[in-house]
Structure 1
Amino acid sequence: MERLYQWMSKVGGAGASVDDALVICYNDCGLSVSEIFPDIEKALKAHLTLPDCVYIMGSTAQLQVFAEGWKDDQTRLADFLSRGVKNDRVCVHEYVFLEWNGESFTPHVLGGGVLASSCNPETLLLDGLKSLLAKNHVIHTAPSAHSFKHPSGTLNNVFIQTRELASDEAEVGVVGYALALEYASQLKKACTVFIDTMGIYPFVKNALGRLGANAQVMSFHSYEKLKTIFPPAEDYFCVVSASTSGGMAKQMGVQGFREDCVATLIDRTADDRYGKVLIPLDSIDHMLPVKTDDGCTLIEIIGENFSAKSKPPKSILISLKHAPKLLPKFHKYFGMGGIQGFNQASQPKKLLFLSPAKVVEHADFLAWLSDEIDWSVSLATNLIVYANDAGSHVLAEKAKDLLQSKLSAHKSIQCVPYSDLDGVDFATVTGVLAVTIVARDGGILRQISRDLRAYMTQDVPRRFLAPFAIPQSARAWTQLKSFLMKNPTPRDYGFSNWLHLPVGELGRENAWSRMTALCSRAQIDHDGFSEIVDKRVRNKSLDHATELLEKHKHGFLPKFDGSALALSDGFLFFSPGSAVANDCPNVPQSTVYLTIAAVLQYAREHGEHELRLQPTGYESVVLSPECFLRFNDNILQACFLRACLPSELDYSASPELSKLMKELIAKIFQRWEKIYGDAALEFAAALATGALKLTLDDTKALLDEAMKERRLGASPLLGLLLLANKLYFPSPTAAIRVPSPN
């Protein structure tokens, strides 16, 4: 759970000047003095220039923690304040805490003194809401020749998805503060709050909680339901999530709801609107299109969703902007032999896994581990629980030795595997360190955490140590940390990690499992194939394809001569001078695959919408065909084909992109015996499994042409092409008959 959200704003400075202000807004969380300074330092580092002042929004309890931190006897305060000094000039001249008193904010200058700048909390929060609009892609603009059809029946090329305004607890808190501050008197008196969608329920509930109000929140969901509702006898308030025309608020007026009790969270403008608007887009300089094209395709909005993906897919070109920050470190420590794959006998349920045996002896890691023990692990710890694997046992023993050296000799530390946890006498346990050497999404740590909660009281300190991780996504990693650290006490449990790299889904349903299913299909069914190929050649080709798929189920399909796919020099995502960059041809296939998987996952979660490989409610997204031209090494093409989700390789909705891919693949099939076509088997397999899709016309033209070229001789490529043809065209009646070869 995120503790805070921060943004930049403008405030009035001395005289008529305007100062830059960093605003930090805390959610309802407990704080300690040791946490507040790193929080502000991290927020300051997020911006290129230092602000003139810092405003912190929070509760009375949080103010007390900040006041304690600003006492003169806190030795860390002087070090922290020096961060706001540059070239012997004090840049950050003021730290102000805005205390929420239940209805408004009261400013307190930390360290004492008179408030130098003039701030308006409403303006600060409006700037925060503006930053959330941009960060969370709340405003959707219809593509060219399309229009959104709103529930009111109006056509517009703008749709506002208010539920996306906040993506975590801290961001919900910003919206809650803004609502509570703007509509405090109405919300405190209200017995019922009407909302038009449950998507804004967290915002309204957060605002009511800040005001100490206990109003019932009721959602009426639609225009039709609204027309059956009339104002109750007791006090009430109405909140509309968003509008582009003010229609729903006006309908409330028709139903008899008072104008001072109607609010819209986001609208184009506040002019000529019934009730107040919290975020008028014209007041925050958010430019929106106003003209709707005639005769355009409609994207119908149902509730807060879209009826169909009416827009052709957006294509994303992978570039250096999609490189994860920690990727070079993973290459340094794991690149040459530390990443094992694929579906090996030692780890049959894992597509890829890390082998950290050498890394745990590296001086860099040992220095990090020693610092973690010194700085982060409680001296009350007398129990170490480790995952049931040899690597975690080795790490646990290292941690035990380091921790034991800090304690007196008479205090012993138990070190037990998770399987033996039931045998521990928890009455004697004063602190716990839970250890796993490598985490995915933290399943074993979650199990240990649940058991510890059952065995011990929540006030016993504990820390979770997972130095290496390849989680499914950054979001999953954040959720894991929140699950492990949050507890009923005012302090969070500890969590330590050295390197983590989100790499996407590596579960059982992947390209390798689809290849296995394809192999089974080829073995069982020899009927219904295209008659373009003679039966004898066809059956022999299918046998070749089956043997090849079975032989290479732990890797990629090979080149024409049977040799393995490999890199050439100069891979974009290898740092110059690194061990992997200096020996590209010998880099393991698993390392190359993990690199591409990590890059694709980073693209799916990229902060910039135009670079994000993530579909929206009305727009699908695909990998740009140009990626296969830019990254034209055979193994890179294979990695993209296997690491992409099938939806990211579905070009069937775009004739233009489909034709580009068809032309590319046709050349690769033609040149299978040459260097350019080394990945031909991988492309054919992707078509045969349905992972790569073109339009039906392009698919038929591509397969017919390729099968005619290969029909005279049996080969695994021809076998895969036949399997692909049967997948899309199961009936051979329309196929062209060709005389069998003599």
Structure 2
Amino acid sequence: MMERFYSWRDLKHCPNQGTLEALVICYNGCSLAVDSVYRDVEEALKGESSLPDCVYIVGNASQYAVFAEAWDPSNTRSAAMLKRGTKGGLDFVKQYVFLQWNSASFDERPLSPNVPYHFEVKRLLSRGVYSLMEKNNSIHQAPSGHVFKHPSGSRNRVFIQAREIAADEAELFVVGYMIALRHSTKLREAKKILIDTMGIYSYVKSALMHCGSDAEIFSFHSYDELEKLNPPNSPYFCVVSASTSGRMAKAMTDAWFAADRIATMVDVTAAGRCGDVMVPLDQMGVTFPELKVSEGTLIEIIGENFTSKAKPPRPVVIGLPHAPATLDVIHQYFGFTIPPLNTAMNGRRKLLQLEATSILEHEDFIQWLDTEIDWSFPLTISHVIHANDDASRSLAEAILERLRKRLANGDALRLIPYPELDKPVCEGATGVVVVSAVSRDGGVLREISRDLRSYIKAEIPRHFITPIGIPQTSASWKQLEIFLTKNPTLREYGFSNWIHLPIGDDSDENTWTRLANLASLSQTLDINELGLGESIDAEVVNASLELAANEIDRSYQSFLHSPRGEPLKLSEGFLFFAEGSDIAARYDEVGESTLYLTISAVLQCAREHKEHTKRLCPNGYESVVLGPECFLRFNDPILQACLLRASLPPELDYSASPEFSKLMRELLSKVFARWDKEFGDAALEFAASIAVGSLRLTRSDMSGLLQEVIGRASQPSALLGLIILAKWLQSSDC
């Protein structure tokens, strides 16, 4: 579902009623329908395991009208909705209140007959902004031994990155409403709004829109520019992005700006500050021991950017918290049917492919499809358009068959393959269904959507259905949904998806293609260019390079074999196979492509994890690597191969940490030394990762490791060939 609202919860203690919890749902400026608000409230209620005491909905007048209709007692579905707030026959959710914005403040419009509780709107919105700061990791604390140097010149352990508070339009509205509510009168009066950074322009612009103001926004960027400013002669207002010392607001008052026309969005406290502090962190329960420090490695801040990544890499160890929510479902339906790696389907070769034709006959899918058609498809459908692949054609035919039984004009429905789609075909269209059985980031669906915009009017309903999604990221999947559903009308087009699982990078260039290029390079190398001197016989070198190239060539749809010539195998008890599932019981039948998809999806989930400490994603001053412990925890050679191939190169770059580099060197030394035993079965995969530049150590560790392997070699081997290539590439800085 597209993010048209953001929800959060607020706890407060009332002397008479004890601790109360409110759920707040804040909409962006979207148009709503009665059916959609039921789904929205239900989704927000399910966001936590416990039910709140009350629900507040924040929105505009048109959105209130839809909610009023949805909660009207004469609406038979409203009673069913209210039951969502009961448990064991008791009403846990005792009130629903709509907060309608009126350009200056919020009008409280009860949707339920009784309103026993009251939460102050300013409090709710401030708490909402703070929840966004937690969600989007906009409060940074300097690592041990480091200190932030702020533009003001002060040094402390905290930096608040205000521009990162909101990540989408719904979140932007939360911040905009907060600013507008607290300062609507002054914003409407002002002719000029001064801000200290363009990073908060969108927040202030949103607040002005809510207030109906057309004031000019001017960013002065820095303390140096502030010294050149004088308070405008016309009415003005000043918004400071964030502070840890209150110095910016103080400097403005020293420059004769009125304190009652200065507001700071976020500060560690409101006590002793000039002007208003909208989100004081100490009132949110946040404390920072030893905030002010004078010594430590400087992380200098320019504007809202860090000058360098001063902190050593942070390791992330993969575990159950990184298991994607839909991984078990994918295993259930596709665990034994994923084609081999780099398989060509429908004229295109991709690293990972899903064959969905067999799933179309599954009872669970049929039930989902029937429900989607009954509840979501427009009644005016005249055209069913499908992507040009076998699974999409089969799905489109199944949809067409069902529509013909349900619609009065069913016999007139047209089934159109995408290659045949043109303007004459679309003439007379009254409704369109677009079908793609499996989507990645939705290239085909986007193409069809663009064509339809040219061929038929925007007012004609259309519905996009893509049951299986394997996008690169969650964000790309949301962007696809937004692209397909947004349109010039007041309503959105429909979008249906059964399962989607982000699987990480899906580009045509990957470890397999880089290894293929390396194999080609090895055939043209002059042995004298390798810089090996007389440490190893030339015939051994040439034979090893040839063996390495042959092993790479035969493994284009799999992983490199062990040095003993055996395929890599999986042992029983894999962490990401659900206990008691069919795939866990038949683990010896699981293909390499299924294991690779699993690890790739787990790593992508780690990159998107909500908790900062578990997130495999760098920020402005901190790099992140896959913890060396992962290769000990997942010690099956095939799992080590999956980790090496599915990780992004920066995630295997241990060159910035002597500690992690040493740990990895010790592991690699043991793997390479035991190449003829089960412990060393992934030796070729580790060597290949080094050779293509993915796995990196410090220069001294890498040189010592490679020389150690070469020094032990007396016979030609694929392992030696890959190590020789790695050494040559390292020495030539290729």
Q: TM-score range by the shorter chain?
A: over 0.9
Percent identity over the alignment is 49
Q: Provide the residue aligned with 2:710 in structure 1.
A: 707
Return the offset for 1:563. Answer: 2.3
Q: Provide the residue aligned with 2:723 in structure 1.
A: 721
For residues 427 and 654 of structure 1, the distance between their equivalents in structure 2, rounded to whole angstroms, comes to 64
Q: Provide the residue aligned with 1:606 in structure 2.
A: 609
Q: Provide the residue aligned with 2:278 in structure 1.
A: 278
Return the offset for 1:579. Answer: 2.9
Instruction: In structure 2, give the amino acid aligned to 1:54.
Output: V
Q: More deviation in 633-642 or 370-379?
A: 370-379
Return the offset for 1:614. Answer: 0.5
Q: Provide the residue aligned with 1:737 in structure 2.
A: none
Cα displacement string for residues 236-262 of structure 1 (whole angstroms, at most 9, x for unaligned residues): 111111111122222222333221111
Q: Provide the residue aligned with 1:735 in structure 2.
A: none
Contact 1:11 1:118 in 2 (8 A): no
For residues 525 and 573 of structure 2, the distance between their equivalents in structure 1, rounded to whole angstroms, comes to 44
Q: Tell whether 2:80 aligns with 1:79.
A: yes
Q: Tell whether 2:628 aligns with 1:625.
A: yes
Instruction: In structure 1, give the amino acid aligned to 2:464.
Output: F
Q: Give 1:336-351 correspondences, 5 Å limit.
A: 336-344=336-344, 348-351=348-351
Contact 2:336 2:591 in 1 (8 A): yes
Q: Tell whether 2:559 aligns with 1:556.
A: yes
Q: Provide the residue aligned with 2:366 in structure 1.
A: 366
**CA gap 1:462/1:54 in 2 versus in 1, 3 angstroms:** same
Cα displacement string for residues 166-216 of structure 1 (whole angstroms, at most 9, x for unaligned residues): 111111111111100111111111111111212111111111111011111
For residues 510 and 497 of structure 1, the distance between their equivalents in structure 2, rounded to whole angstroms, comes to 28
Aligned match for 2:676, one of 661, 665, 673: 673
Contact 2:437 2:466 in 1 (8 A): yes
For residues 398 and 463 of structure 2, the distance between their equivalents in structure 1, rounded to whole angstroms, comes to 16
Q: Tell whether 2:591 aligns with 1:588.
A: yes
Q: Provide the residue aligned with 2:439 in structure 1.
A: 439
Q: What TM-score comes out, normalization by structure 2 length?
A: 0.97
**CA gap 1:20/1:407 in 2 versus in 1, 3 angstroms:** same
Contact 1:434 1:463 in 2 (8 A): yes
Secondary structure at 1:457's aligned position in 2? Answer: coil
Q: Give 1:573-584 correspondences, 5 Å limit.
A: 573-584=576-587
Q: Provide the residue aligned with 2:67 in structure 1.
A: 66
Secondary structure at 2:36's aligned position in 1? Answer: helix
Give the number of aligned pairs.
729
Give ranges in structure 1 of 5+ residues lacking alignment.
Answer: 732-742
Instruction: In structure 2, give the amino acid aligned to 1:687.
Output: I
Contact 1:6 1:25 in 2 (8 A): yes
For residues 579 and 116 of structure 1, the distance between their equivalents in structure 2, rounded to whole angstroms, comes to 51
Q: Provide the residue aligned with 1:99 in structure 2.
A: 100
Secondary structure at 1:8's aligned position in 2? Answer: strand
Cα displacement string for residues 352-388 of structure 1 (whole angstroms, at most 9, x for unaligned residues): 1111121112222122212211221112111011111
Secondary structure at 1:6's aligned position in 2? Answer: strand
Q: Tell whether 2:419 aligns with 1:415.
A: no
Q: More deviation in 359-368 or 179-188?
A: 359-368
Q: Provide the residue aligned with 2:658 in structure 1.
A: 655
Return the offset for 1:122. Answer: 0.6
Secondary structure at 1:524's aligned position in 2? Answer: coil
Q: Tell whether 2:31 aligns with 1:20.
A: no
Cα displacement string for residues 79-104 of structure 1 (whole angstroms, at most 9, x for unaligned residues): 11122222222221111111111111
Give ranges in structure 2 of 5+ residues lacking alignment.
Answer: none
Q: Tell whether 2:646 aligns with 1:643.
A: yes
**CA gap 1:339/1:498 in 2 versus in 1, 3 angstroms:** farther
Q: Provide the residue aligned with 1:236 in structure 2.
A: 236
For residues 724 and 368 of structure 2, the distance between their equivalents in structure 1, rounded to whole angstroms, comes to 55
Q: Provide the residue aligned with 2:38 in structure 1.
A: 37
Q: What TM-score comes out, normalization by structure 1 length?
A: 0.96
Instruction: In structure 1, give the amino acid aligned to 2:398.
Output: K
For residues 699 and 326 of structure 1, the distance between their equivalents in structure 2, rounded to whole angstroms, comes to 39
For residues 234 and 666 of structure 1, the distance between their equivalents in structure 2, rounded to whole angstroms, comes to 72
Contact 1:13 1:118 in 2 (8 A): no
Instruction: In structure 2, give the amino acid aligned to 1:537.
Output: V
**CA gap 1:707/1:437 in 2 versus in 1, 3 angstroms:** same
Contact 1:449 1:484 in 2 (8 A): yes
Q: More deviation in 407-416 or 539-548?
A: 407-416
Secondary structure at 1:102's aligned position in 2? Answer: coil
Q: Provide the residue aligned with 1:215 in structure 2.
A: 215
For residues 520 and 352 of structure 1, the distance between their equivalents in structure 2, rounded to whole angstroms, comes to 24
Q: Provide the residue aligned with 2:56 in structure 1.
A: 55
Q: More deviation in 128-137 or 160-169?
A: 128-137
For residues 322 and 16 of structure 2, the distance between their equivalents in structure 1, rounded to whole angstroms, comes to 45
For residues 650 and 515 of structure 1, the distance between their equivalents in structure 2, rounded to whole angstroms, comes to 18
For residues 729 and 55 of structure 2, the distance between their equivalents in structure 1, rounded to whole angstroms, comes to 62
Contact 1:157 1:289 in 2 (8 A): no
Q: Provide the residue aligned with 1:740 in structure 2.
A: none
Contact 2:192 2:237 in 1 (8 A): yes
**CA gap 1:704/1:28 in 2 versus in 1, 3 angstroms:** same
Return the offset for 1:348. Answer: 4.7
Contact 2:564 2:675 in 1 (8 A): no
Contact 1:342 1:590 in 2 (8 A): no
Contact 1:14 1:116 in 2 (8 A): no
Cα displacement string for residues 276-335 of structure 1 (whole angstroms, at most 9, x for unaligned residues): 111111222211133455541111111111111110000001001111111111111111
Q: Tell whether 2:382 aligns with 1:382.
A: yes
For residues 362 and 392 of structure 1, the distance between their equivalents in structure 2, rounded to whole angstroms, comes to 15
Return the offset for 1:425. Answer: 4.1
Instruction: In structure 2, give the amino acid aligned to 1:196.
Output: D
Contact 2:387 2:417 in 1 (8 A): yes
Q: More deviation in 640-649 or 270-279?
A: 270-279
**CA gap 1:437/1:4 in 2 versus in 1, 3 angstroms:** same
Q: Give 1:452-471 correspondences, 5 Å limit.
A: 452-471=452-471
Secondary structure at 1:143's aligned position in 2? Answer: coil
Q: More deviation in 592-601 or 190-199?
A: 190-199
Instruction: In structure 1, give the amino acid aligned to 2:285.
Output: D
Contact 1:326 1:499 in 2 (8 A): yes
Q: Provide the residue aligned with 2:5 in structure 1.
A: 4
**CA gap 1:634/1:346 in 2 versus in 1, 3 angstroms:** farther
Q: Provide the residue aligned with 2:269 in structure 1.
A: 269
Return the offset for 1:621. Answer: 0.4
Cα displacement string for residues 639-696 of structure 1 (whole angstroms, at most 9, x for unaligned residues): 0000000000000111111111100011110111110100100000111111000011
Return the offset for 1:11. Answer: 5.7
Q: Provide the residue aligned with 1:738 in structure 2.
A: none
Instruction: In structure 1, give the amino acid aligned to 2:731.
Output: F
For residues 409 and 39 of structure 1, the distance between their equivalents in structure 2, rounded to whole angstroms, comes to 33
Q: More deviation in 437-446 or 124-133?
A: 124-133
Secondary structure at 2:457's aligned position in 1? Answer: coil
Q: Aligned Cα RMSD in Å?
A: 1.7
Secondary structure at 2:689's aligned position in 1? Answer: helix
Contact 1:149 1:299 in 2 (8 A): yes
For residues 142 and 382 of structure 2, the distance between their equivalents in structure 1, rounded to whole angstroms, comes to 60
Q: Provide the residue aligned with 1:736 in structure 2.
A: none
Secondary structure at 2:207's aligned position in 1? Answer: helix
Return the offset for 1:409. Answer: 5.8
Contact 1:263 1:275 in 2 (8 A): yes
Contact 1:158 1:289 in 2 (8 A): no
**CA gap 1:102/1:538 in 2 versus in 1, 3 angstroms:** same
Return the offset for 1:427. Answer: 3.6
Q: Give 1:192-591 correspondences, 5 Å limit.
A: 192-344=192-344, 348-408=348-408, 411-422=411-422, 424-526=424-526, 527-529=528-530, 530-531=532-533, 532-591=535-594
Return the offset for 1:15. Answer: 4.3
